[in-house]
Amino acid sequence: MIDEAALDFSASSLTLLNAILAVVMFSIAIDLKPQDFKVLAKAPKPLVIGLLSQFVLLPALTFLLVLAAQPQASVALGLILVAACPGGNISNFITHRAGGNAALSVSMTAFATVAAIVLTPLNIAFWGSLYPPSAEILRATNIDPVNIAITVGLMLVLPLVLGVILNSRKPALTAKLRMPLQWLSMIIFVGFIAIALAANWGLFLAFAGSIAGLVIVHNALGLGGGYLLATLARLSPFDRRAVTIETGIQNSGLGLVLIFSFFGGLGGMAIVAAFWGIWHAISGLALASIMSRKVVTP
């Protein structure tokens, strides 16, 4: 039973994953300056639409998917948890490849990361409690939203603040660090996920087939929902690409940290997050390739 399976993941591995994600977040943050936030304050509509798409629309669509598919409890909670996470760290790279507003994408990642301190535990608790099987897991684990908020803050928000400060004070240094650090952090992150999967390959193969379809549909809902909301909000094609990708690329690395920190590496949840980490990169790059064929301007 996938609800009873647990992935092999040591405390030292969890610490390493925390450190890797902090470096990834720092590499994103050194693209930002305090002035970027002032610009968005004057024209906040694209940012607000993006945050609504991530933290309201995607969790709601996820819940509808869960109701329609009726997956096992841990799988359902894994989908809900991934949807509750902020945008993924590769969304900025993919938005740039797609010819979208990369500056908006980076800012959305930053704002969503800060908002995640409150909204991620809130969405997990709210939507997870509405599906009776996953509500049982939440009751059994008795997670503390404050602890989740502290984990998100230390792992994502602190590196974000430090990156913005360094970029504002030492722009020449961050210009040299930016590209090598982003590539290095992503390579290390992908390598870490590959090693973790290899250590649990038998369990992953046993259950991935039944989860793959759900993850693919879930990711398509994120991308499609983001595009639809941005279109209805009459955002420019340039901004719409950023919102679409930011909604469909989720921080599955953060999801894995929360799963191993608070849910004991529960099999269904961990396999959902791990498969998300692989699939959203494939779908995002494929979509970027299609979008980039038509050039749009700010």
Beta bridge partners of 266: 6
Q: Is residue 6 part of a domain?
A: no
Spatial distance between the Cα atoms of 243 and 199, rounded to a whole number of angstroms? 35
In this prediction, residue 8 carries a pLDDT of 58
What stretches of 54-169 show up as alpha helix (H) in DSSP? 58-69, 73-84, 91-98, 102-130, 132-141, 145-152, 158-169
CB 129 within 8 A of CB 138: yes
Q: Is residue 261 part of a domain?
A: yes
| CB hemisphere CA count around 37 (13 angstroms) | 12
Q: Is residue 64 part of a domain?
A: yes
Q: Which two three-digit tokens encode residue 123?
A: 């969405």
Q: Is residue 208 part of a domain?
A: yes
CB 62 within 8 A of CB 221: yes
Query: Domain of 259: which CATH number?
Result: 1.20.1530.20
Spatial distance between the Cα atoms of 192 and 214, rounded to a whole number of angstroms? 24
What is the total count of domains within the chain? Answer: 1
Q: Give the burial string for 225-245 (b: 16+ CB within 10 Å, else e).
A: bbbebbeebebebbbbbbbbb
* Cα dihedral 155/158/161/162 (nearest 10): -100
In this prediction, residue 223 carries a pLDDT of 97
In this prediction, residue 129 carries a pLDDT of 93
Range of the domain at 252: 11-291
The residues, any chain, with a CB within 8 Å of residue 26's CB and separated by 6 or more, are 159, 160, 162, 163, 181, 185
In this prediction, residue 2 carries a pLDDT of 56
The gap from C-alpha 210 to its chain's centroid, in whole angstroms, comes to: 22
Q: Which two three-digit tokens encode residue 69?
A: 């598919």
At 154-210, the pLDDT tens digits run 777 888 888 888 888 888 888 888 778 877 877 777 777 677 667 667 667 777 677
CB 139 within 8 A of CB 78: no
pLDDT in single tens digits along all 298 residues of the chain = 555 555 555 556 667 777 777 887 788 778 777 776 777 777 789 999 999 999 999 999 999 999 999 999 989 999 999 999 988 777 877 888 898 888 788 888 888 888 888 899 999 999 999 999 999 888 887 667 777 788 788 777 888 888 888 888 888 888 888 778 877 877 777 777 677 667 667 667 777 677 888 999 999 999 999 999 999 999 999 999 999 999 999 988 888 888 888 887 677 888 888 888 888 888 998 999 999 898 887 7
Query: Torsions phi, psi of 87, nearest 5?
Result: -60, 150
In this prediction, residue 3 carries a pLDDT of 53
* Cα dihedral 41/44/47/48 (nearest 10): 120
In this prediction, residue 180 carries a pLDDT of 85
Beta bridge partners of 6: 266
Q: Is residue 142 part of a domain?
A: yes
In this prediction, residue 62 carries a pLDDT of 97
CB 254 within 8 A of CB 18: no
Q: Which two three-digit tokens encode residue 190?
A: 């992908």
